[in-house]
Every structure is written in C-alpha cells, then in structure tokens.
Structure 1
C-alpha cells in the first residue's frame, strides 16, 4: 500500500515539478560534460599522453564540476536519489583510478526508471556510453528526459501488451552524443565492467521519432503527389498526436521480439546471420504493431489508426533511403513492405503520382505479416541454413537481388562445407539494391533526412502543408 501511495504522489507532482533544464546547475553540468568528452578515447578512457590531452588536475577539476552539478540537481528528482548517489560514487572512483576505461555498473543497476512509469516524470541521466545510431564511442553524456506514460497507454500495457521494461520518453535537453540520429536510451550501450545478468529497462524517445517522421513524410507526400485522408493529414500536423502513435507502436514492437513462433532469438543471443534475417525480424515486429493497431482502431482507440499510418509512411518513405546501404536491414524492411504493397496493387506509381488504396492497405499489410510469421513457424523445423535460404526466397520474391549475388544463384553456388556463419561472408553489403523508384526518391529526400539530425519534438510544431510540388 505504501508503494502505491508513493507512486501516486510522484505521478501527481510529475508534470508540475521544476524543470531540471531551467535550474542553473544544468548548463553547468552540460558544459562540463561537453568539455570532458572531447578528451576521451573510443573506449571512454583518457589518454593523458595524447596530443591535446588535459593535465590530470584539469580532468579532475571538470569531473568535480560534473559531480557538483549532479548533487545540486538531484533534490529536484527524489525518485532518482539512489541512482544519483551511486553515480557520484562511480564518477569519483573513475577519477581516483586515473580515468581508465569507465565503469558505471553500480549506477546502472541503481537506475530503475521502469519501476515507476509516471507520466511527465523527469530523469537526469549521466553515463559514459555510446548512442545507438549516433556516436559509436563511449563518451560521457548527460540527458534530461521525461517519461511518457498516459493512462490509456498504461491500461493497454496492463491488459493487452505486457511490457514491464519499456519506457516511452521525450527529450528535455542533451549533450553532443544525442545531437545525432539516436532516438534510444538502452542500458546495453553504457560502459560497465561486466554485463548484468538481465537488463531491467529500455527507453525510446518518441518525440524525436515523431518529429522526424512528420518532417520526412511531409516532404515525401509533396514530392509524390500523394493525396491523404483528412484525419491522417491532421495527425501529421500534430506533434503530440504523433508522439502518442509512436509510443504505442514502440511498446508493441519491443515486446514482439520475444513473442510468437521464434526459430531464433535474434537480439538476446549474439549470432552471426545474413542481414536480411534481422530485416525480417524488425519488419515482423513493426507489422505486428500494425496488426494490433487495426484491432485497436476497431475497439475504439483513435491511436490505432494513427499507428497504422505511422508504420506505413515511416517504413515506406524514410527507412529505405536513410543511412548507408551496407547491411541496412531497416532499409531492407521498408523496401520489402513497399514492393509487397505495390505488387498487390495497394500502392501505384502512375503518372509520377503515388496512389494508395486506403481501404485495402490494412488487409494486405497484415497479409505480409502472415507470410513472415509462416516463415518463422516453419523455420522451427528447419536447419539454420535451410531457414536462411527460405527467408532469402521470401525477400527475393518481391525484391530483385544484386546481379552479382552468390546467394541469389542458390546453394550450388556456395561452399556448403563451410559453417553457416562463414557463408555470411558471401552476402554482398547491398544484397538487395534500391529500385529505380527509390534511387530517385533518395536523391529528393536526402536534404530533408539530413535535416532531422538532432531534431527535437518541441522544435517541430509546424502546420502540415504540402510545401513541395516537385515529383520524384
């Protein structure tokens, strides 16, 4: 009973608490972290013999400023008191040990945001970490965030989509590692002496996802001359509504990785597999979220329809043309979705205009989800290599492989005496190149996609308008 009362008190005051980023200690903390992180090596240590390295006294002084700022800010966040206390201890020990490879295991174990998912609750997070899809080095980073946990989402998690580790979050402010394309806060990215037996939370910044979705979709819709239903046009003009769609999408996607007929566990156990296997897994999770969104819409949840079109547009417009083409499994999933809908006459590119059969889109998208689930179910009874080839056959039914591909030629073209993980070496970096449609679209969207680096949700409150009439 005491725990329930404590959570209720925290939830009631979450949205009205003083903003951490408005406290004078926040710019002090942010400045000190930015000053320190440029001295760090890739593994997070400081090489005092390197060119441009600080003196040991200077490094200690800057970390002292970091600690002082954390101690000033911590009283604003009593729910994180244990974490901040452990964080200060980890920082002091790191300094005392001469700033070798950082170890934030103790403070990581003390940080438990999923235990109290109160809507609007702030957290001040400081770790040495890399930012996925952002900075690959384990630099010191600081980020202030808020929990996104409205009552309707909490009810769905409790009754239909159990995911006790998931945290929907938004940015308040951040250091340079998040001035990137990264939209996640995962414990796996944090520098620790040893990995914990299990991780107890994972956060996704739905405000960044929503903001870049809106910006890229706006441009793509204008380029392609796509006519939108009124309610979808209204959604794209509403940042808050899009954030709700993404937090629901992410919650269902995240739990799907461990649900269903799973011939392999692609993320909990490290395995070397062809990148189309990961592409299919990510697409399976997205299409499961789509299918559930169709059910939610029929049950009266307005967010259900929004999720459907967030999945369709983000997957078809942004994913295929974002990032490098080397083993781009998210891009592959987007290509596959578009090709499947195109070959089933749900999307048409005619007279340089994209048309979507809105009535048939849910049925045919769910049909692709069913094909992937059938592949998985049958894969349980297949050897690994046979399953990989079956997955290749599914993808290549809709996407043309590279003409130089050995895998496209079939098993006779590969040395099957080698173990499967060695046959991955024969996969081309871009095994399924972009179609001519996507090559043209990529060039047109390159500028706007680059503009979403470091995007903030509160900087994206534009009215949705067709700003461009140039067709791809």
Structure 2
C-alpha cells in the first residue's frame, strides 16, 4: 500500500484526465474510509472508549491513508485542486485534534462543482456526512462522480431555466453510505462548525434515479396490465435516455423551489409545516417540470416528452410505495396525482387493469398544477395557519383523510 502511494506521489507522474476508479490509489482510499466508518459515532466523532473502538494509532493510520490517497489522485482532477488541499488539511486536523465531531467547513467552501459544469468531468469527493434517504449518521463517504452537462441541457439552462447551482451527476464508485436509496449529494448534509450563509451547489444522481425508475415502471406495468405506447416502452428500456429525462426534470424541479408565487420561505428546511404542505410543494415542483416539458416537446425538444412519462410514472408508481407509511409527504403527492387523474377519467382501473388516456393526460395534469399554483397565490394573502388548512382542503378534496387526521 505504501509503495503504491510513493510510486505515484508526484504530480508529474499522474497525468490529468484518467479515470479515478482505475487508479490503484482509489481502492486504498475507499478501503480506508470503510475502516473509519464503523468507528464513528452518530455525530461523526470517534469514542475510543466505546466497544469495538480502534486504538488511536490505528485511526490515525486510516486517516493518513485517506489523506495520502487524495493527494495521489488529485492531479487527475486539477479543477478540484483547491478542494483537495483543504480536504487533506481538514482530515489531518480532525486526527490531530482527537477525532472529535468533524468540521469540514473549509473543504466544503473550497468544493465548487457548479463552477465547472462540463459534461463528463470527474470529481473525487470525501466528506463526513449523512446521506439523504440513506445513512442518517455523519460517517465519512468517498464518492467518485461525473458531471452530466450535455450541450442541449446547458443551452436550456442558459436560455430558459437558469439554475447556476444545479449539478446533474452520475456515480463512478462510492462507499457504503451510498449503497442505499440516496440519490443526492447536498452540501447541507456535511459536518461543519456552522452552515455557510449560502450554498453554492447541489448534486442529483440522475443515473440512480433512471435505474430505479426503469425497474419500478417495468414491475408496475407488469402487475397493472398497463399497455404502454411503443415510444414509452423504448424509453423505459434505455438507461441513457432515462438519465437525460431525469437530469432535465431535476434541473427544472430544483429551480421551482424558489420561483413562482410563494406564500412562504421556499427553503423548507428552515421551518416546520404539516406534512401535506411539504407534499404539495414537492408536487408543485414536479408538475411545473411536467408543464415545462409539455412546452419543450411542442418546441421539438425530444427530452420533453420523456420528462412527462418520467414524472407521471415515478410519481404514481414509485413514490406512494417508497418510504414510511405515516406522514410520507412524497408518497402523499403521488397519491394525489393518481387520485386527481382518476377523478378526471384520465386513469381507469377496470377489470383489474390500469388504462391511461394518453391524449388527455398532459392537459389534466396541468390542471392539477394550476390548482396548486392558485393555492399558493391565494396563500400570499392568508395567515400561515389558514394557508395550511386551505392546503388540507385541497388534498382532502381528492384523497379521503383518515378520520383522526383533523
């Protein structure tokens, strides 16, 4: 292991542009991170008095291997040089200060992937963090990823859907915290001494989204006896085509959180609301992406049609059966969409089979979007509690509430 690090220890010996995961230092780094993870407490610190804890020297060696491996791999990624320098300092400081609650604010501030949105560009990311919909503890994670930024997407972002912080990304390899349902890399999940005034990036793994969309849709179609048009069937069978749909959907969804007639702070992490309001907000963003996808399809953008299928199927088939069964706001949004389309005869469940009126689906889906937008616009003139109750009334119009929910 030491020989590997020494042999490639200078920048001249490691030309930029090679695949990080093919370099012998990557498995060294990954193995060292996996050794550290089970030693960490929920807050990311290491309690050396806990059962199964390593001795301090063993922990120091593992951290040194991570830092040394980052230094070896960094020349492959010159655009991340400042981040990797800050990262190795944060790693060594964490060890020198006794493996207390980690503080990686300096390296977080130095990591700026949105400043280098180039299709296929690699990044090597190491942080103590929790993974959304994955591991709730602030363990170390190491991820090699690539940026998804094709010319057509960059042009849409420049001309129609400005979103300077958005990063579409795909996995190259990852540690255990991402061997879960997590499909995002968000800066607010990282262990820091204090949150920055504003974050400068946010990443969504469109390859994971596309893969699970295909898997769930294929199963749902089989179970429900749904007859798919040839175009939809071809899309579901094509991973790359699905990734393109999801990266566009994600970009429009993400920007919608801060666009439109908003009666409240769109960054919902700063406040608490009833779960149905979170469900309406997420559905509003998805249906806005759907509405824009209809326009894009009319303008001849091929991904526009695919986004419509992705929103409908992911929302109706995956969201309602994923996650907890109580106060699952994403599940609620999916149920609301299904119920609305069923109420308006776009969906029919007859003879134990699901039928979709493909011609009317765009119009009626946009009508639900309009109802939610009206709720928001009217909410600007309402007290917060009254707005919440109006949201409850909208949802309960189409979904029967539990008798004890109000």
How far is the alpha carbon of 1:404 from its aligned partner? 2.2
1:202 aligns with 2:210: no
Distance 1:316 1:326 in 2: 17
Q: Is the 8 A contact 2:130 2:139 kept in 1?
A: yes
Distance 1:356 1:326 in 2: 28
How far is the alpha carbon of 1:270 from its aligned partner? 1.5
How far is the alpha carbon of 1:265 from its aligned partner? 1.5
Distance 1:269 1:213 in 2: 26
In the alignment, what sits opposite 1:328?
A: 328
In the alignment, what sits opposite 2:4?
A: none
Residues 234-383 of structure 1 mapped to structure 2, 5 A cutoff: 234-267=234-267, 270-383=270-383
1:212 aligns with 2:208: no
How far is the alpha carbon of 1:279 from its aligned partner? 0.2
In the alignment, what sits opposite 1:110?
A: 110
> What SS does structure 2 have at the residue aligned with 1:79?
helix
1:45 aligns with 2:45: yes
1:54 aligns with 2:61: no
User: Which structure would you say has the larger RCO, counting Cα contacts within 8 Å and 6 or more residues apart?
Assistant: 1
In the alignment, what sits opposite 2:10?
A: none
In the alignment, what sits opposite 1:399?
A: 399
Q: Which runs of 5+ in 2 are unaligned?
A: 1-15
How far is the alpha carbon of 1:327 from its aligned partner? 1.8
Distance 2:87 2:404 in 1: 52
In the alignment, what sits opposite 2:131?
A: 131
> What SS does structure 2 have at the residue aligned with 1:300?
coil
How far is the alpha carbon of 1:269 from its aligned partner? 5.7
> What SS does structure 1 have at the residue aligned with 2:324?
coil
In the alignment, what sits opposite 1:429?
A: none
Distance 2:286 2:269 in 1: 21
TM-score (norm 2): 0.95
Q: CA RMSD in A?
A: 0.8
Distance 2:272 2:318 in 1: 26
How far is the alpha carbon of 1:96 from its aligned partner? 0.4
In the alignment, what sits opposite 2:385?
A: 385
Q: Aligned pair count? A: 391
How far is the alpha carbon of 1:340 from its aligned partner? 0.0
Distance 1:139 1:269 in 2: 21
Q: Is the 8 A contact 1:121 1:146 kept in 2?
A: yes
Q: Is the 8 A contact 1:128 1:191 kept in 2?
A: yes
How far is the alpha carbon of 1:312 from its aligned partner? 0.0
Distance 1:314 1:17 in 2: 36
> What SS does structure 2 have at the residue aligned with 1:158?
helix
Distance 1:268 1:338, change over 3 A: closer
Residues 173-188 of structure 1 mapped to structure 2, 5 A cutoff: 173-188=173-188
In the alignment, what sits opposite 1:153?
A: 153
> What SS does structure 2 have at the residue aligned with 1:38?
helix
Distance 2:271 2:399 in 1: 25
Q: Is the 8 A contact 2:258 2:266 kept in 1?
A: no
Q: Which runs of 5+ in 1 are unaligned?
A: 1-15, 408-472
Superposed CA offset, 1:289-314 (max 9, x none): 00000000000001000000000000
Superposed CA offset, 1:32-58 (max 9, x none): 000011000000000000011001111
Residues 84-103 of structure 1 mapped to structure 2, 5 A cutoff: 84-103=84-103
Superposed CA offset, 1:128-153 (max 9, x none): 00000000000011000000000000
Runs of 4 or more above 3 Å deviation: none
In the alignment, what sits opposite 1:28?
A: 28
Distance 2:295 2:134 in 1: 35
Distance 1:202 1:154 in 2: 16
Distance 1:30 1:269 in 2: 31
In the alignment, what sits opposite 2:5?
A: none
How far is the alpha carbon of 1:268 from its aligned partner? 5.2
In the alignment, what sits opposite 1:79?
A: 79
> What SS does structure 1 have at the residue aligned with 2:330?
helix
1:224 aligns with 2:210: no
> What SS does structure 2 have at the residue aligned with 1:46?
coil
Q: Is the 8 A contact 1:266 1:278 kept in 2?
A: no
Q: Is the 8 A contact 1:279 1:330 kept in 2?
A: yes
Superposed CA offset, 1:294-351 (max 9, x none): 0000000010000000000000000001111122100000000000000000000000
Superposed CA offset, 1:77-114 (max 9, x none): 01100000000000010000000000000000000000
Q: Is the 8 A contact 2:279 2:330 kept in 1?
A: yes
Q: Is the 8 A contact 1:34 1:175 kept in 2?
A: yes
